[in-house]
Amino acid sequence: MKKLRVALLGCGNVGSQVARILLDDAGELTTRVGAELELAGIAVRNTAAPRDVELPAALFTTDAEALIDDADIVIELMGGLEPAATLIRRAIDGGATVVTGNKALLAKDLPGLSARAGEAGVQLSYEAAVAGAIPILRPIRDSLAGDRITKVMGIVNGTTNYILDAMDTTGAQFDDALARAQELGYAEADPTADIEGHDAAAKAAILATLSFHAPFDLDDVHCEGITAVTADDVAAAREQGMVIKLLAIAERLGDGNGSEGVGVRVHPTLIPRVHPLAAVHGAFNAVFVEADNAGELMFYGQGAGGKPTASAVVGDVVSAARRVVLGGPGRTESTTGTVKALPIEAVSTSYSIGLRVNDKTGVLAKIATIFTDRGVSIESMRQIPEPVDGDDPGSATLRFVTHQGSEAALAATVADIEALKVVTAVTSVLRVEGN
């Protein structure tokens, strides 16, 4: 029976689980592939470092290049741009099948890597890069290849979903929910990449590239994190029958000149509690897809963690290995479309705006005039008359939800309102989706 040599680069949380599966389930995987998958070695920086899983010491090496040059299949789980990019290119050029979960690298240059793999005739797979165990990239690339995706909207970062869900269920402030997530291992010691939305933005770029068959990178993504979300925002959302989620959104838009573009953005978003994404709790992920013919689809599961992510990696390995056994080049994505990324100002959305005002007489008229002047239509307004500690006794909270309008008009409206003397503070501005 044919034997395929597998090189593993990186042995952290996910890598160690991948190694375990390749070793423990070798028999079953061999049957599925029609060839033996032999774990030839694991390249790491420090061969003596402790691992999550007990693995044979003989597998470890610091010489990634030698391992790659002798492998049929290379699994890259080091993360980061370098040396991962150089090693992946070396593997591709050497004719190896490559499986990676490296979202940073793909968000930078998925089309370039894919084209290079296409020229070499090798398969480049990366299901694990977005939403962990959830099969989402292959369905978008292959199952929906005959449809026209109009919008993709996903909870693709487990850490932020855990924090927002905890704030919603316990009423906690952001800092406390973050601290708790860190204690439980759902957030890293330095949580910046998660809570500032950078991780979700990388995934948004990858989702957009595959969904709209054109290259999008991190620079095309408008990105806002969740650090400004307060317990008051969460409570107010609840009153409105909504919940706040950090969503990665990519959608087709008119560009205002009769042609089309794609808006890609990550930001905290109000969604109605009846929306399927509202029921995604804890560190789970889900991606909601709208397509012309398929209608609404949702994919749900564990978006992070060693074992779930390893499932996606080994799925790619088995699938690509079958192709090696069958013969014929690996498949590539179609990313040569000409649809362009549009700036956030081109997006059409609706806003929920919270204000503190210190004088009720005539205030509403003044604010309503601003909305009218900016061409933004109000869907609902709610006044909460109770004063907040330290505020003037006459102060009140107003909460507006607008109909859909251009982001530019909405942003200008908020700026105008903020400039009103009677407005003490704009306490929150959140976009609304799924209405």
Catalytic residue chosen out of the listed positions 103, 151, 203, 245: 203
Enter the tokens of residue 368.
């309503």
Q: What whole-number distance in Å separates Cα of residue 300 and Cα of residue 125?
A: 20
Q: What whole-number distance in Å separates Cα of residue 221 and Cα of residue 405?
A: 20
Stretch that binds a second copy, among 28-36, 204-212, 359-367, 372-380 (CB under 8 A): 28-36
Short-list 273, 411, 426, CA closest to 349? 411
Terminal Cα-to-Cα distance of the chain (whole angstroms): 56
Q: What whole-number distance in Å separates Cα of residue 7 and Cα of residue 72?
A: 8
Enter the tokens of residue 227.
């650090």
As measured in angstroms, the least distance from the Cβ of 57 to a second copy is 24
Site string for a second copy, 93-132 (x = CB under 8 A): ----------------------------------x-----
* Site membership for a second copy, residue 328 (CB under 8 A): yes
Q: Which of residues 186-245 bind a second copy (CB under 8 A)?
A: 213
Sort strands 221-223 and 149-155 into parallel, antiparallel or unpaired.
unpaired
Q: Which is nearer to a second copy, 123 or 395 (CB)?
A: 123
Q: Which of residues 286-325 bind a second copy (CB under 8 A)?
A: 291-302, 307-308, 310-319, 322-323
State the Rg of the chain over Cα: 24
Q: Which of residues 250-279 bind a second copy (CB under 8 A)?
A: 276, 279
Number of Cα atoms under 13 Å in the Cβ half of residue 289: 26
Q: Which is nearer to a second copy, 320 or 429 (CB)?
A: 320
Site string for a second copy, 4-23 (x = CB under 8 A): -------------x---x--
CB proximity list for 143: less than 8 A, separation 6 or greater:
none
Task: State phi, psi for 132 to the nearest 5 degrees.
Answer: 45, -115
Q: In the annotation, is 203 catalytic?
A: yes
Catalytic residues: 203
Rule CB under 8 A: which residues touch a second copy?
A: 17, 21, 25, 28-29, 31-34, 127, 133-135, 138-139, 142-148, 213, 276, 279, 291-302, 307-308, 310-319, 322-323, 326-329, 331-332, 334, 336-337
